[in-house]
Structure 1
Amino acid sequence: MASKLRLDKLLSESGFGTRKEVKYLIKKGTVTVNGEQIKDPGFKVDPEKEKIEVNGEPVIHIKDIYLILHKPAGYITSTKDKEATVMELISDVPRFEKLFPVGRLDKDTEGLLFITNDGELAHRLTHPKWKVPKRYYVVIEGKLSENSKNLLEKGVKLGDFISKPAKVKVIKVHENTSEIEIEITEGKYHQIKRMLKKVGNPVIYLKRISFGTLKLGKLPKGEYRFLNDEEVKKLKKAVGLLPASN
């Protein structure tokens, strides 16, 4: 059962604006609780039991949203852009405009993209301190030599930085291409592409298959799903937001 919340806090968390903006809405008389007009921003409400509306629109209180999207190629990982963004693929999620992608995938890269409105979790997942692993399925030109594999696993000099050691697994070798999996704990601009080009195996196709404790699994391309409570707990434990024993 939800505890009682201040009306302005509830509306802000539900996407109706900043605390200052929602206070204006309340004082303007646009908010009703169980059909009664409320003009006190500090009025306490229980969103699970009471009917709260703004200009006749029901308030859906979802403080924290966690979902993964199977990003297709052709979409920009951004909340706003002149080109199509990943947000268009989740536009039916309540208050989707309050969400943001954590980290990024290039326009032509596919795979797992974590999207949330939890700023603290997002910050930790992208902070170098926590070394959150990201695993990719990659199709490359040519065959990955043992020497190239060793270089990737030790760290490759890419001009402005030396990559941290990667984990590399060769899945299948074809006549002119190879399929590999590579795991890194960084997220520099075009990092996977730059690393593989440096060792002589340019990337043909790139898909992220896991991010931290999250796995893409069989989620269809272009679709999303919400995380369950256990997945959220594991993600938070991995970056110290919950005790490991919890």
Structure 2
Amino acid sequence: MMRLNKYIAHYSTYSRREADQAILDGYVRIDGEVETNPAIQVDERNANVMISGNKIVPSDQFTVIVYNKPRGELVTKKDPQGRKTIYDSLAKQYRHYIPVGRLDFASEGLLLLTDASRVATALMTSKMERVYKIKIKGPVTEGMKIAMGEGLELEDASAGAHEHADAGPMSFAPFYAYQVQKDQGDYSILKVAIGEGQNRELRRFFAHFGAEIVDLKRLSFGGIELNNLPTGKVRFLERSEYSNLREFLDAVEKAEKQKQKNEKKAPRAEGKPEHKPAKTFTKDKAKAKAKPSNEPFSTNKYKPDSKFSKGGKK
């Protein structure tokens, strides 16, 4: 059995929030009857659920594409200010695809999109390695290196944020790894790996040290890389990439079922951490402190246990 809103989000392109809204607005029918309770349980094997007149057909099939996003495009369906979005550039058959996270207007590089919201959610909420190449104004300071290795807690993270963004506290986990490629005083180039996707995370991090990011490009997400994909172009995942992704999704689903089973047996003790999937489709380095590396980053794009840099811990 599965909650109705989760069923819709799991087997359609609707997000959980969009599913909730569609249910509350009366667009969802079960066996021909309107259902307005998002929490009602449905049998995912035999459910007859329709949304806006279209029947939801459960399927484990999904597609993921890699888009090399150029600067000057928003990752959104529509912009009130009329600025260009990724969907203005993507082919028509991808207009319903869901982006896995965001790259801001001035950023470029790898963006994953999928036709399955469950896949997008699993990837966005994972601790998978996101690798970026960035150019900052000024030198790489000792304070930056310490914060990249140990993490950072800010009471006010407004520096580097959008003009109208909340100026509240923000926590930055330790970077998985970093590599200073150039440090010429007036500007520096770094390659960094992080396991989160908070709003303008890197821009806020370096802005705290008075360093503006002038170039930001995502190179990979969870071992899926841009390679030589031209800017503005799309490619499908390769067979090995799909295989690794399915392994990751199976681990997430198994962990979720175990969590639900444990919660039915007994309430979780206060303060006890949630169960995490035992595997990810790249090596989970959440516990590793970032270490500088003078050696090249790994170019092995398929092996889940490939290292980000040889100087990093596992």
Taking structure 2 as the reference length, the TM-score comes to 0.55
> Is this contact kept in 2: 1:99–1:116, CA < 8 A?
yes
> Is this contact kept in 1: 2:179–2:192, CA < 8 A?
yes
Deviation of the 1:200 alpha carbon? 2.9
> Is this contact kept in 1: 2:67–2:233, CA < 8 A?
yes
Gaps of 5+ in 1: 1-11, 24-41, 43-62
Matched, 1:147 2:143: yes
- Give the Cα–Cα distance (whole angstroms) in 2 for the partners of residues 184 and 13 of structure 1: 29
- Give the Cα–Cα distance (whole angstroms) in 1 for the partners of residues 194 and 241 of structure 2: 21
- Give the Cα–Cα distance (whole angstroms) in 2 for the partners of residues 121 and 70 of structure 1: 19
Which residue in 2 is equivalent to 1:90?
A: 90
Which residue in 2 is equivalent to 1:235?
A: 245
Which residue in 1 is equivalent to 2:194?
A: 184
Matches within 5 A, 1:52-63: none
> Is this contact kept in 2: 1:158–1:194, CA < 8 A?
no
Matches within 5 A, 1:1-246: 21-22=53-54, 64-81=62-79, 82-92=82-92, 94=93, 96-127=94-125, 130-159=126-155, 160-166=169-175, 167-239=177-249, 240=251
- Give the Cα–Cα distance (whole angstroms) in 2 for the partners of residues 224 and 150 of structure 1: 37
> Is this contact kept in 1: 2:178–2:190, CA < 8 A?
yes
Deviation of the 1:168 alpha carbon? 1.7
| Cα RMSD for the two superposed structures | 3.1
**Runs of 4+ with >6 A deviation:** none
Shift in alpha-carbon separation, 1:132–1:147, aligned structure 2, 3 A: same
The one-letter code of the counterpart of 2:53 is E
- Give the Cα–Cα distance (whole angstroms) in 2 for the partners of residues 89 and 237 of structure 1: 31
Deviation of the 1:145 alpha carbon? 2.0
The farther-off stretch of 197-206 and 228-237 is 228-237
Deviation of the 1:237 alpha carbon? 2.3
The one-letter code of the counterpart of 2:88 is E
- Give the Cα–Cα distance (whole angstroms) in 1 for the partners of residues 147 and 12 of structure 2: 47
- Give the Cα–Cα distance (whole angstroms) in 2 for the partners of residues 214 and 158 of structure 1: 31
Deviation of the 1:178 alpha carbon? 0.7
The one-letter code of the counterpart of 1:111 is G
Shift in alpha-carbon separation, 1:149–1:20, aligned structure 2, 3 A: same
The one-letter code of the counterpart of 1:86 is I
- Give the Cα–Cα distance (whole angstroms) in 2 for the partners of residues 204 and 13 of structure 1: 38
Deviations 1:78-109 (A, max 9, x none): 123232111222224x3x23211110000100
- Give the Cα–Cα distance (whole angstroms) in 2 for the partners of residues 177 and 238 of structure 1: 38
Taking structure 1 as the reference length, the TM-score comes to 0.70
3-state SS in 2 of match to 1:75: coil
Gaps of 5+ in 2: 1-10, 14-49, 156-168, 255-278, 280-314
Deviation of the 1:20 alpha carbon? 5.2
> Is this contact kept in 1: 2:12–2:116, CA < 8 A?
no
Deviation of the 1:199 alpha carbon? 2.2
Shift in alpha-carbon separation, 1:176–1:13, aligned structure 2, 3 A: closer
Shift in alpha-carbon separation, 1:99–1:173, aligned structure 2, 3 A: same
3-state SS in 1 of match to 2:199: coil
- Give the Cα–Cα distance (whole angstroms) in 1 for the partners of residues 139 and 52 of structure 2: 59
Aligned length: 194
The one-letter code of the counterpart of 2:243 is K
Identity %: 28
The one-letter code of the counterpart of 1:140 is I
